[in-house]
Structures are given as structure tokens and as C-alpha cells.
Amino acid sequence: MWYRAVAAGSFRRYATYRTATVAGVFTNTVFGFIVAYTYIALWTERPHLGGYGRPEALTFVWTAQALLAASALLYGGGIDELQERIRSGDIAVDLCRPADLQLWWLAADLGRAAFQLIGRGVVPLAVGALCFPLALPGDALTWLTFLFSVALGVVVGFALRYLVALASFWLLDGSGLALISGLACMFFSGMVLPLRAFPGALAEVAQLLPWAAILQVPVDVLIGTRTGGSLLRGLAFQAAWGVALLALGRLVQAAATRKVVVQGG
């Protein structure tokens, strides 16, 4: 009940920023058109790049725009607030709450992601589907599996950002590390280019990294690239990275808490 209330409160909090939501929808849609026409030019020269046809590539573009805010592909996603609380010392108040710090922020992030998926995700994908030939599924089961995969990707993304935020316990300013993390996510999630389209061994390595679980796997589920055993392996891949990174976050959190106690915080 406690964490459900945190998630619901986070959903309502982001729902109050109506102007920012509208601006985000407009920005995502505009960039969707820019990237879509870039992909059209690229796939005209390489019709089967990465094993995708043009409809699948365009679906990748518009799904990435739909998940941009929900999956926090450019960092942020509210976790920067945790960084600031660590820097200012307000984290001491959070540690005094009768709730687990990691679960508190995970619940808040899930509430944020749920609103962003609805508020900033539906319209760009709908516009893309109206203006371009997308490879969207026609059955409800695939859509439900896609949403489940998106949820797993959100957890993986949170776990990575949580680790970056915890680094602020040791760094005077964690903004540089946050910037590096955002760039890594943008490149290795497939937002710039589908990971399957990367050359040679880089494509294989990139698809094993945790960032692939945030965007690449959900989009492959949506367009039907992953079915049967491949689908189960993709979901297991996401779940494994989520569990591993959350466990690592708990270890770092424990070390950070000891550091705060030693400093008298």
C-alpha cells in the first residue's frame, strides 16, 4: 500500500504539468519526423539494414519517440532530484522514513513512467502511424507483451540511473557522470540507430549490454522480430539485468548509508 501510494502520487504529480506535457508531445513528434526522413534516406540506400525493412525501421523511430520520456532515454526521469537531495544533504530525511530508499524511488519512477507513456507516448506513435507505413501488430497479445517489456525496460533504466545518482555520495558533482550515462543510454539503447544495424561485433556486444533492454528489446517485441523462444529470451534478458542492477544498487546503497553515518549525516 505504501509504495502504491508513492507511485500514484508520482503519477498525479507529473499529470499537473500540462503545459510541459503538451510541449513534450510536440517536440517528440517534430523530432520523430526529422529522424523518420533520415531513416527513409538511409533505408533507401540499404533496404535491409540490420534485418529491418523500411516499415520496421520507421516503427523503431516512432516507438523510440513514444518511449523517450517514459523510459528516460536521455537520463532525468526524476532521478536527478535524488542526486540533488544527496548533494544538499536532504537525503538524510529520506533515510529516516520508514521505507526502503530504493523501493521508494522505484515506485515514484514507475508512477512517472506510467504517466509519461500515456501523456507523451500515445500521440507521437499515433501521428507516426497516420503519416508513415508502420509495422504495428494487429493483435492484443503482442501489445500486452510489448507493454510488459516496456515495464521491464523502465526498471532496468531506473536501476542504471539509481546507481549514477548514488555516485553523488562520493562525488562533489554528479552531473558529469549523469551526462555520460545519458549519452551511453542514447547510443546503446538503439535510440540513435537500431543495435542490429551496428557493424560486426559491435552489434553483438551492444545487444548484450543493459541499455539494450530499455528500447531495443521492447521495439523488437512490438514489430514481431522476437517471437516464441526468442521472445522469452528477450524478456528473460531484461528481467536478469533488472534484478542484477537492482541488487547492485542495494549494495551501493548500503555502502553509501554507512558513509553518511560515518560523516554524521
Q: For residue 193, what pLDDT band results from cuts at 50, 70 and 90?
A: very high
Dihedral sign from CA coordinates of 17, 19, 22, 26 = negative
State the Cα–Cα distance between residues 167 and 170, nearest whole angstrom: 6
Q: pLDDT tens digits for 92-149? A: 888 887 888 899 999 999 999 999 999 999 999 999 999 999 999 989 999 999 999 9
What pTM, to 2 d.p., does this model score? 0.92
HSE value, Cβ hemisphere, 13 Å, CA-based, for 139: 6
Q: pLDDT tens digits for 30-80? A: 999 999 999 999 999 999 898 899 999 999 999 999 999 999 888 777 778
Task: Give the residue numbers spanning the domain of 49.
Answer: 2-262
For position 212, what pLDDT does the model report?
96
DSSP of 99-162: S-HHHHHHHHHHHHHHHHIIIIIHHHHHHHHHHS------SHHHHHHHHHHHHHHHHHHHHHHH
Q: pLDDT tens digits for 211-223? A: 999 999 999 999 9
Mean pLDDT of the region 153-176: 88
Q: State how many domains the chain has.
A: 1
Amino acid at 214: I
Kindly list the distances between the CA atom of residue 256 and the CA atoms of 16, 77, 91, 242, in Å, as whole numbers in the listed order. 33, 22, 11, 21
Backbone angles phi and psi of 227, in degrees to 5: -140, 160
State the Cα–Cα distance between residues 59 and 133, nearest whole angstrom: 8
